[in-house]
Structure 1
Amino acid sequence: MTRRALTALVGLLAALVVTVLAAVLPGASASAGASASVTAAPRAAEPNPIILIGTGGLTWSDVNARDTPSLWTFLRDGSTAAVSVRSVFTNTCPVDGWLSLSAGDRAAAPGPGKNGARKTTDACPPIPVVESGFVPGWDGYVRAANALKFGARPGTLGEQLASNKQCVQAVGPGAGLGAAYTSGAVPRYAAYDSSALTGLLTGCRVTMVDVGSLRDPQDLPPTEAATRPPSRAEQAAAIDRRIGEVLTAAPSGSDLLVASMSDAGSSERLRLVAAKGPRFGSGTLYSPSTRQDGLVQSADLTVTLLTAAGVPVPDALGGTALRRGEEGSNSEPAAEDRLRQLLDFDEASHEVHPLVPPFFNGVVYAQIAIYLFTAVVWRRDFGSTDLRLRLLRITRRVAVVAATIPASTFLANLIPWWRFPVPMVAVVFSVGLFVAIISAIALLGPWSRRLTGPLVVVALATLLVLGGDVMLGSHLQISSLMGLQPVVGGRFYGMGNVTFALFATAALLLCIAVSSYFVKHGRPRVAAVTALVIGLAAVVVDGYPGWGADGGGPPALLPGLAYLVLAILGIRMSWKRGAILAAATVGLFLLVGFLDSLRGKENQSHLGRFFRSIFEGGAGDIIVRKLQQNLDILFGNYRLSLLVPIALVFVIYILARPTSWGSRSLQRSYEACPTLRPGLIALLVTLTIGFAINDSGVAIPANGAIIAVPLIIAVSVRVLEDEARATATTRASRRG
């Protein structure tokens, strides 16, 4: 290795280390600042009694002052939120909700399918009634939890309370399931009896009451629909009456938490949760696990009960204690406003979820059409010069417009499209509006005459939209077509796989355009430094626990960035240098995970929790589960998703090799844009690593292609367009 290469490599690695350390070390304070609107967590020195009123199937659309007065008092006088109840299967049954509460993680009763699988068309298993102080069939729930590898341990809640000398009173079948010990024992259990509630609610610091679950007659599987339950409104009113009975019997000074922990039938959607008492005034509920005011997850309920009882919370639990978030008034108009915000959470997630698959299918088919059309106009002998010039111009503009779609899907959430009578039409219009704005800026400005001008505009717009969103709280991502789906519950903030793919691709494309400008002007060192600054800024935004909180992103982006910087400096990548970069990347990944694990549990990202699991156990189950998710996508029902990364590798392979059959006519693109070829290889490196190390990693190259290939085509076609225009001018002069 030459001294110049060694110096450049050491300098690059030093820059990476300094950047990551500078981002992570002050992370705890920054994360605290990000939630400055949240009131301080309650003191655990003198815990108040807490009563969990458990139900299921209710959403905030079921609540109003006339028909559900008890729930309305929670909305007016307490702290409220929408809750993601996803457990293991697509829809969460009442028994799943109570098991998840017991485990503090995703758990479910086994279904009739292979390996205990359950479909949305299967009837929900019944909740067992405690017999002789034990839950019947408890061993089956434990075996199912072990087989699912979510790390769930049914009985965690009851066992943790008992081991710290705190009793828990269970009232009703679901509560018996939630309060069980790891052995299945339930020492304190009683059937629901309104006349006995006063005595039952005063015996223990933690009490759980099952007031029944709503089952929507219009959404039940056929086997359940045959039972003909009462109407949705009648069931909601009956549940509300039982909630009112608990409120009347509850001792003064208690905190009351009502939670709808399951779905109402086959459809999945966000449910309701509310709390009131000494620690919960009027306003919203906040959970650091979601970092979204007014949006929490079911795992938070277990931690909230343990915290309220003054009991240590096991590190393995992924939830955090609920607390009062944004303060509000207890007036009726204020309650109406909070209800509208809660309905927005639910309606947006419910309306966008079924639109995601057809949207991605449409984008993929549109991309394939662009590829085919481009292949036609690439041929020099196609049609007359004027016709070919016209087709090239159309192809370039269509490609640029197509590349603006991802950023526009996030910006579309600035408009409450879900409130319109036909949400599908409204969201298409919203996306189209921002596509038109970004495309106009890219194609009509003075920079449009430059080779990479439109590419810079689109890439920069994508970076600013996605990066700015995660820095400001990830609000545009929630329930967007290409963002995070709270009803699924995997992520609620930061960079998911799709967002990372778009963000990293845009960053590398911007590096290509800017570095090419300086290389063409004979300033390769400035080009390398500029690309390094852009790339490292993207790494910080993506990996910083308070912003992107992406554990798998930096290890994928850093090697691609390093390759590009070294290529700009004229340093070839050897096996030895590649091994050094790979080792440095792994080391930085572990360093970030270690530093994140040192932060407070509420401020840790999933990367810090994964690092802790390496030493505390459970990391193996996480790795196996994520590997299985990738395999299911590759060989399951997502063959179209597999087609896109293969096409991406094929296209980049053609474009990156000037001697291949498909890119002989594109050699001028590399001459006009000197860092295009190494930039494409860097992009391929990043997307391939991202595919390999992330769960559902097939989404990374697939979504990277959505923005990368159109912009690469736009640059290449612009070169051919200039060539065709020059040819037409030459022929005209000869005729003259």
Structure 2
Amino acid sequence: MKAFDRLRRVAPPRRPGSRAWVPYLLVALIAVASLAGLAIRPGTTATPGSADYVIVAGAAGLRWDDLDPQRTPALWQEATKGSVGWLSVRSAMKVTCPSDGWLTLGAGNYAAWPRAGAGSQCAPAEPALTQPDNIGANVTDQRSVVQSNQDRFSYGATPGALAESVRCTVAVGPGAAIAAARPFGRVDKYQPTLPADPAKLLSDCVLSFVDLGTVSGSGAAREAQVAKADALLARVVAARPERSLLLVAGVSDTDRTSRLHVAIAEGEGWNGGWLTSAGTGRDGYLQLIDLAPTILSALGRPAPEKLFAGRAATVAAGRPADITDAMLGAHNADLRAKAQNAVAGIFFTVLAVVQALLFLLLVPVMVRARRHAGPRGPALPPKRLVDVAELALIAGALAIPAALLADATPWWRYGHPAWVFGIVTGVFTVIGTLVIRASPRYGRTLWPMGAAAAVGAVVVGMDLLTGARLQLNGVAGYSATQGGRYAGVGVVGLGVFVAGMLVTAGCVAQWFSKPWRPVVVVLFGGVGVVVVGSPYLGADPVGAVAVTAGVCVAAAISTGGWLTFPRFAWAAVAGLAVTIGFALVDVNRPAAEQSSLGRLLSELANGTGGPAMQRAAAANGQTLLNSPLTVLALAGVLMLAFCQFSPWGGLKRVFGLHPALRAAGAGVTVATLAAGVLSGSALTVAGAAAAAVVPTAVLTALRVLLHAADRTRPEGETDGPGGPLLREDRAMSG
């Protein structure tokens, strides 16, 4: 009754015109604040130092765990002196083989060398070469390679774009020839092996590529290959010209698994820091496509317009002086990413199967719960069964937030990482479930749903506030080896955060009178839009646009009723105002400072956005068929449809009693579907959202069913299992 009294005080009789404009003013102020939060972006950082020469020493397959101060002294010394990072070698192919890596390096964009077969090992970089003048060389297949990249892929890559941007290039070795070849195949100066005295060769042109060889396999054979590469690098270091920048890169994988590789930049201004770029947004991470703009920036040359996809590298402070502390042991991101790739598929497959089975088992329980209203209907399901079902549903909703917390532990360092991760995730799930169950408010209708949703939103939000460390190379996050995201919120985190934020907003809004419910939804939504879209936090402008649309829909129907045309019009105007304002600010920035949304809009404006749309469509199709989160999304939709449209569902009654909760569900649907389609992840965002909120929505529907025949009782009487439902439901429905 205290809650009921409190709610009645919130909504006193309102005189006509008595501050009716206040909620609308607050909604407008929140929208403006959200736009301001999205518009703030960090400025670009200039390249740390200029150089007269740049030397790129590449070794296919070279990883940080190959380095050792005794076995590879030259590599270790360069890493100690220079700036270092993890190199993601994504190319136009799913797995980057040596020829793909060298070609991508020379294109400054995602490219691929035509290949045949799909064995477990990559073929070495062995292009067909001719040397008619004994000075340079010709890559005989270069023209067909250029045509293949333009016809088969939608990245707009032009192999040889880097070489075309400088006057002269030198290549030593077959892989280097691929990177140094111009679009028509000419390599200005070429040597198959490093000369005895390479000083003159390395100073003949401003840009030199040196193939240090291929590192593959394991054990003693791999160590011998690394030692050979180290010996070649030592000769390059001894002969490099003054004022030169040396880039050491593990340019590709050497088998059909994706790994993180070595990136070292050593020269004036590049000493003792983390390598990073605007493309990754993460200290210590660099993309292969970032090397080409880095080279031209160091040489003071402009990048070719619309050809490069990467950003010039910069240096961030804070790297430990000891390379072991920085890149190996507990900080070996490559080993963690490798474990993540193996465990993530298992986790989401198990979660999809468990939630689908849980929903199937609950159908007969809900049927029995509804039929008790009739005089001859079956008895209610046993209270113990209902209690167990509720706990299982809460645990299902907390599985992904628990997996995020599990990524804070070093599970990947053990011999059986999948089992360790599963046990840790289970422990966090049980703890969260027991905390929600032990709350004094557990008997309230919306408490389990609101509490579980809030936990998910808080876990993801706190992770973003602390640098998204749980999502990077995390099972419930994203892998740097895939080359899609290195910082901010991932698709799984976005789904959990949006669903948690809007459902929490819907539950809280029920405590306010109708005119104030849109304010509550927009307040929560405004914070969510900034968290998702801010480059300092979620760094997902496309996701922010989708969340804006979802928040506007939720606010429009949070007072009850349907999405009428006037409501749709107001929601559309508010959403478009924030979206267009942010887009205009982003598009008018310099190209190097634009977010992914700004670049996409710029491409659409100048007629070059077709490839980006093709990539998004292809990614949607592939993800739709391959992701276990698609199963989670479909299972959630089917269960919600049963709860909504069947006589035993109960969800229709829940939405009738709690219109703000129905509004939250509509907003989550709009936001997650839009975010998935626009980002090329299909139903992945919606699947994560469904996993986080559908189980507790079913729990809420079950509670309402169990009390469908209840009548309001005199004050002082106690309610049955599930707590005081009908009286509170009527109060909270306004």
Normalising TM by the smaller chain, what interval?
Answer: 0.7 to 0.9
For residues 122-133 of structure 1, the aligned pairs below 5 Å read 123=123, 126-129=126-129, 131-132=131-132, 133=137
Distance 1:338 1:296 in 2: 15
| Residue 52, structure 1, aligned to residue 37, structure 2 | no
Alignment of 1:438-517 (within 5 A): 438-517=432-511
Number of residue equivalences: 686
Counterpart amino acid of residue 39 in structure 2: L
Pick closer, same or farther for the CA change 1:680–1:21 going to 2, 3 Å: closer
Equivalence for 2:585? 595
Aligned residue for 1:711?
696
Distance 1:484 1:195, change over 3 A: same
Provide closer, same or farther for how the CA distance between residues 329 and 716 of structure 1 changes in structure 2, counting only shifts above 3 A. Answer: closer
Identity of aligned residues (%): 27
Residue aligned with 1:28, SS: coil
Give distance in 2, aligned partners of 1:152 and 1:8: 53
Supply the RMSD in Å over aligned alpha carbons.
3.1
Question: Separation in 1 of the partners of 2:667 and 2:510?
Answer: 14
Amino acid at match of 2:688: N
Secondary structure of 1:83's counterpart equals strand
Partner of 2:317: 326
Task: Between 686-695 and 145-154, report the one with greater CA deviation.
Answer: 686-695
CA distance in 1, matches of 2:129, 2:59: 16
SS in 2 for 1:502: helix
Q: Is the 8 A contact 2:130 2:139 kept in 1?
A: yes
Distance 1:294 1:197, change over 3 A: same
Partner of 1:148: 153
| Deviation digits for residues 632-676 of structure 1 (CA, Å, limit 9, x no counterpart) | 344x555x654443333333344445xx4342x455534553433
Deviating more after overlay: 11-20 vs 240-249:
11-20
Matches within 5 A, 1:308-707: 308-314=298-304, 316=306, 317-328=308-319, 330=321, 334-340=322-328, 343-380=331-368, 388-518=382-512, 523-570=513-560, 572-575=562-565, 577-578=567-568, 581-582=571-572, 585=575, 588-634=578-624, 636-637=625-626, 642-657=630-645, 660-663=646-649, 665-666=650-651, 668-670=653-655, 673-707=658-692
Report deviation, 1:589.
3.4
Tell me the residue number matched to 2:38.
Answer: 24
Q: Does the CA-based 8 Å contact 1:49-1:206 persist in structure 2?
A: yes
Higher mean C-alpha deviation, range 246-255 or range 367-376: 246-255
Cα distance in 1, alignment partners of residues 318 and 502 from structure 2: 42
Q: Is the 8 A contact 2:343 2:417 kept in 1?
A: no
SS of residue matched to 2:226: helix
User: Could you tell me which amino acid in structure 1 is paired with residue 115 of structure 2?
Assistant: G
Distance 2:102 2:497 in 1: 38
Answer yes or no: is the 8 Å Cα contact 1:403–1:458 preserved in 2.
yes
Cα distance, 1:586 vs structure 2: 5.0
Q: CA deviation at 1:251?
A: 2.3
| 1:673-695 CA distance string (max 9 Å, x none) | 34333332333333333344331
- CA 261–583 in structure 1, closer or farther in 2 if over 3 Å, else same: farther
Q: For residues 512 and 21 of structure 1, do their structure 2 counterparts lie closer, same or farther at Cα, with a shift above 3 Å needed?
A: closer
* Deviation for aligned residue 1:346: 0.7
TM score, norm. by length of structure 1: 0.86
Aligned mates of 1:485, 1:130 — CA distance in 2: 40
Aligned to 1:99: 103
Deviates more, 1:416-425 or 1:699-708: 416-425
Q: Is the 8 A contact 2:83 2:266 kept in 1?
A: yes
In the TM superposition, what are the counterparts of 1:229-308 in structure 2 within 5 Å? 231-308=221-298
**1:198 paired residue number:** 199
- C-alpha spacing 1:433/1:288, structure 2 compared with 1 (3 Å): farther
- Change in Cα spacing, 1:576 to 1:568, as seen in structure 2 (3 Å) is closer
2:143 alignment counterpart: 139
CA distance in structure 2 between the partners assigned to 1:576 and 1:525 by the alignment: 16
What is the CA-CA distance between 1:560 and the residue it aligns to?
2.8
Contact (CA 8 Å) 1:61, 1:343: kept in 2 or not?
no
- Aligned residue for 1:565, secondary structure, equals helix
Residue 286 of structure 1: SS of its match in structure 2? strand
Q: In 2, Cα distance between the equivalents of 1:177 and 1:134?
A: 10
What's the counterpart of residue 62 of structure 1?
Answer: 66
Measured in 1, the distance between the counterparts of 2:570 and 2:657 equals 32
- In structure 2, C-alpha distance between the alignment counterparts of 1:666 and 1:609, rounded to whole Å: 42
Q: Which residue of 2 aligns with 1:222?
A: none
**Counterparts of 2:86 and 2:631 in 1: how far apart (Å)?**
37
Q: Aligned pair 1:85/2:70, yes or no?
A: no
Deviation per residue, 1:378-424 (Å, 9 max, x gap): 12269985852111111111111111111122222221222223222
Residues 128, 322 of structure 1: alpha-carbon distance in 2 compared, 3 angstrom cutoff: farther
CA distance in 1, matches of 2:474, 2:26: 36
Kept in 1, the 8 Å contact 2:53–2:245? The answer is: yes
Distance, in Å, in 2 between the alignment partners of 1:652 and 1:728 is 23
Question: How far off is 1:532 after superposition?
Answer: 1.4
Q: Which range is displaced more, 342-351 or 588-597?
A: 588-597
Closer, same or farther: CA 535–655 of 1 in aligned 2, 3 Å: farther
- What is the identity, as a one-letter code, of the residue corresponding to 2:179? G
Measure, in 2, the Cα distance between the counterparts of 1:654 and 1:9: 36
1:221 corresponds to: none
Q: CA deviation at 1:106?
A: 0.9
Task: Give the distance between the partners of 2:325 and 2:276, measured in 1 at CA.
Answer: 17
Amino acid at match of 2:689: G
Change (3 A) 1:524 1:587: closer
- Distance change (3 Å), C-alpha of 1:136 and 1:471: farther
Partners of 1:507 and 1:688 lie apart in 2 by 16
Task: Find the residue that maps to 2:165 and give its secondary structure.
Answer: helix
Decide whether aligned partners of structure 1 residues 705 and 120 sit closer, same or farther in structure 2, where only a CA change above 3 A counts.
Answer: farther
Give the AA of the match of 1:216.
G
Report if aligned partners of 1:285, 1:326 keep a CA contact under 8 Å in 2: no
Change (3 A) 1:120 1:533: farther
Task: Look up the equivalent residue of 1:206 and give its one-letter code.
Answer: L
Shift in alpha-carbon separation, 1:298–1:339, aligned structure 2, 3 A: same
Relative distance call for 1:497 and 1:328 in structure 2 (3 A) is: closer
| Distance across 1 between alignment mates of 2:330 and 2:240 | 27
Between stretches 304-313 and 420-429, larger displacement belongs to 420-429
Q: Deviations over 1:100-131 (max 9, x none)?
A: 01111111112237xxxx67567466334354
Cα distance change, pair 565–378 in 1 and its aligned pair in 2 (3 A) = same
* Structure 1 range deviating more: 307-316 or 320-329: 320-329
Any idea what the Cα deviations from partners look like across 1:541-584, whole Å, max 9, x if unmatched?
11223322223323332333223222233464234653564465
Q: Deviations over 1:585-623 (max 9, x none)?
A: 456434423322334555432222222222345311000
Check the 8 A contact 2:556/2:567 in 1, yes or no.
Answer: no
Shift of 1:479: 0.9
CA contact (8 A) 1:514 1:530 kept: yes
Displacement after TM superposition at 1:491 (Å): 0.9
Range 280-289 or range 620-629, more displaced: 280-289
Q: Which amino acid aligns with 2:215?
A: L
Conserved? CA contact 1:57–1:271, under 8 Å: yes
The worse-fitting range, judged by mean Cα deviation, of 278-287 and 683-692 is 683-692
Q: Which TM-score applies when normalising by structure 2?
A: 0.86
Q: Aligned with 1:58: secondary structure? A: coil
Mapped pair 1:157 → 2:162: yes
Q: 1:71 to 1:515 in 2, by over 3 A?
A: same
Q: Deviations over 1:513-533 (max 9, x none)?
A: 111232xxxx12232211210
Q: Give the aligned residue type for 1:60.
A: W
Distance 1:512 1:266, change over 3 A: same
Instruction: Give the superposition deviation at 1:265.
Output: 1.3
